[in-house]
Amino acid sequence: MTAVLHLRDVVKHYGDTRALDRINLSLPSDAYISLLGPSGSGKTTLLRVIAGFERLEAGEISFQGSRIDTLPPHARGIGFVFQNFALFPHLSVEDNIAFGLKNSAINPVTDPGVVKRRVRDIIALVGLTGLEDRGVSQISGGQKQRVALARTLVTEPKMVLLDEPLGALDANLRMRMRSELRSIRERCGVTFLHVTGSETEALAMGDTVLVLDRNRIAQHGDADTIYNRPCSPAVARFLNCYNLLPGRISGEAFETAAGSLPLGGLRQSSENPVYAIRYDRVSIRPQDAAPGVDEAGVEATFIASEYTGAAINSFFTLADGSVFEVEQHLSHAAPSSYEPQTAYRLAWNREDALVYS
Ligand SMILES: Nc1ncnc2c1ncn2[C@@H]1O[C@H](COP(=O)(O)OP(=O)(O)OP(=O)(O)O)[C@@H](O)[C@H]1O
């Protein structure tokens, strides 16, 4: 896959706050890229320096083989879709989309026939045909999102940056717009870089997922790798699907405050030793159940369960008082019920663990 965008040692501060700390990055052409990270990790700043809304203090950005960090935003060939859509409330759907094309600082399109044709093509691409003459205050949230995207795509950018594009939509619509955005991108063949704070959205949408942590790139890979092999305890914590037990390695075991766990699974280096096991890899057994040969486990007290539709999440406390979560998918078996304040044995295959040390 050819790279379209390169960032080299990019640094950005706001006063004393370091918002981007030596970012090095190459992004592929014709791909959907999710940019995930906790609040304040620098996601919006990264988009804004790529778009040219913020100046970087050090480093370089090149796009399609040419350096762009000295160019103004409109000369970069990169589109930007804002979270709040930023539509003109007094204009129709069609006029909102045509606006950027007619008023572009570089090569504005002045022939009304050409404007009409390009706008109609984009309206069809994003699925808004029939709504051309509606005011943008008379359309739904999902339709506004499509107008915002169409307004950018009509100018034929080579890349589109989307800052939390689904953040203003309700949960149901957000789910539907995920596949819509992916298919619109596939039809136009342009790279999308999509910022989100939701790990499920990032994993579901990105061909490639970038994880920012403390203003640096913590991990960059396909969704499957990020989910199954987070490269650090911080990335695993942020994915919100791993129990993390701090401790230390002693011989063939990882010693935690909740007990000794036989070593196994993937070992990765980290300054802070942590044993990680995914919520959905854990079985709940009676307290006196004998451990299997290849298993690791801890004793834990059941607190409560939460039904999420496709799964049940059960919460336990360990000997040191920390909370341990177990996720059981309802397609696997009918849900069991557990007695609050009762001890159980939580067990998993030791090869399913991730050990950071
Ligand atoms: N205009 C600004 N002035 C001062 N500090 C800023 C400004 N914009 C961002 N910051 C700081 O820079 C850091 C990165 O902010 P940024 O908005 O890029 O994070 P983010 O990952 O997009 O966060 P969120 O998910 O909450 O939107 C934060 O510490 C933030 O407080």
318, pLDDT greater than 70: yes
pLDDT bin (cut points 50, 70, 90) of residue 335 is low
Claim to verify: residue 224 and residue 245 sit in the same structural domain? no
Structure tokens at 72: 């103004």
Cα separation, 224 vs 16, in Å, equals 36
DSSP, res 290 = P
Asked whether residue 64 falls in the same domain as residue 186, the answer is yes
Please tell me the distance from the alpha carbon of residue 325 to that of residue 53, in angstroms, as a whole number. 42
Q: Is the CB of 19 under 6 A from ligand 1?
A: yes
Average pLDDT over residues 59-70: 95
Provide CB contacts within 8 A for 86, sequence distance 6+: 148
Host domain of residue 348: 241-356
In the chain, pLDDT over 70 holds for what percent of residues?
99
Give the Å distance between the CA of 44 and the centre of ligand 1. Answer: 7
In this predicted structure, what is the pLDDT of residue 241? 94
Give the side-chain half-sphere CA count within 13 A for 290: 2
DSSP state of 74: G
| Phi-psi map region of 117: left, alpha, beta (phi>0 left; psi -120 to 50 alpha) | alpha
pTM greater than 0.90: no
pLDDT at 330 (0 to 100)? 83
Does 214 contact ligand 1 (Cβ within 6 A)? no
The token pair at 243 is: 């129990």
Q: Is the pLDDT of residue 126 over 90?
A: no
> What rounded mean pLDDT belongs to the chain?
92
- pLDDT value of position 109: 87
Domain membership of residue 236 (yes or no) is: no
pLDDT one-digit tens code per residue, 33-53: 999 999 999 999 999 999 999
* pLDDT value at residue 180: 86
Q: Is the pLDDT of residue 168 over 90?
A: no
Section 219-229 average pLDDT: 95
Question: How much distance in Å is there from the Cα of 49 to the middle of ligand 1?
Answer: 12
Which pLDDT score, from 0 to 100, does residue 172 have? Answer: 79
Which residue, 228, 261, 287, sits at the end of a domain?
228
**Ligand 1 atom 16 nearest Cα:** 42
Q: CA-CA distances (angstroms) from residue 117 to 123, 144, 149, 188, 346?
A: 10, 21, 17, 16, 62
Report which of 60, 68, 61, 63 is spatially closest to residue 29, judged by C-alpha positions.
63
Amino acid of residue 190: V
Cβ atoms 206, 34 nearer than 8 A: yes
Find the 56 Cα to ligand 1 centroid distance in Å: 14
Where is the domain boundary, 158, 193, 228?
Answer: 228
Asked if residue 16 has its Cβ within 6 Å of ligand 1, the reply is no
**273 vs 248: CA distance, rounded Å:** 6
Domain check: are 292 and 210 in the same one? Answer: no
Rounded Cα distance, 5 and 210, in Å: 14
Number of domains into which the chain is organized = 2
d(CA 167, CA 148): 13
Same domain flag for 292 and 190: no
Half-sphere exposure in the Cβ direction for 214 (13 Å, CA): 4
Kind of pairing between the strands at 191-196 and 32-36: parallel
Neighbours of 175 (CB within 10 A): 14
Phi, psi of 217 (to 5 degrees): -75, 115
Pairwise CA distance, residues 44 & 238, whole Å:
18
Residue 122 and residue 145 in one domain: yes
Tell me, yes or no, whether 191 and 258 share the same domain.
no
Domain of residue 169, CATH code: 3.40.50.300
> Which tops the pLDDT comparison, 138 or 3?
138
Integer Cα distance of 281 and 270 in angstroms: 23
* Residue-level pLDDT at 1: 63
**Measured over all CA atoms, what is the biggest interatomic distance in the chain, rounded to whole angstroms?**
80
Give the model confidence (pLDDT) of 263-289 as tens digits: 988 899 999 999 999 999 999 999 999
| Residue nearest atom 6 in ligand 1 by C-alpha distance | 14
CATH number, domain containing residue 330: 2.40.50.140
pLDDT at 336 over 90: no
Residues 151-164: pLDDT tens digits? 999 988 989 999 99
| Nearest residue to 325 (alpha-carbon basis) of 317, 315, 335 | 315
* 3 state DSSP class of 7: strand
Q: What is the C-alpha R_g of the chain? A: 24
Place of tokens 């299997």: 292
221 lines ligand 1 (CB under 6 A): no
Percent of the chain with pLDDT over 90: 73
Does the pLDDT at position 237 exceed 80? yes
Q: Work out the angle at residue 56's Cα, subtended by the Cα atoms of residues 54 and 60, and round it to the nearest 5 degrees.
A: 125
195 and 116 part of one domain: yes
Q: What is the pLDDT of residue 257?
A: 93
Q: Interface pTM (ipTM) of the complex?
A: 0.97
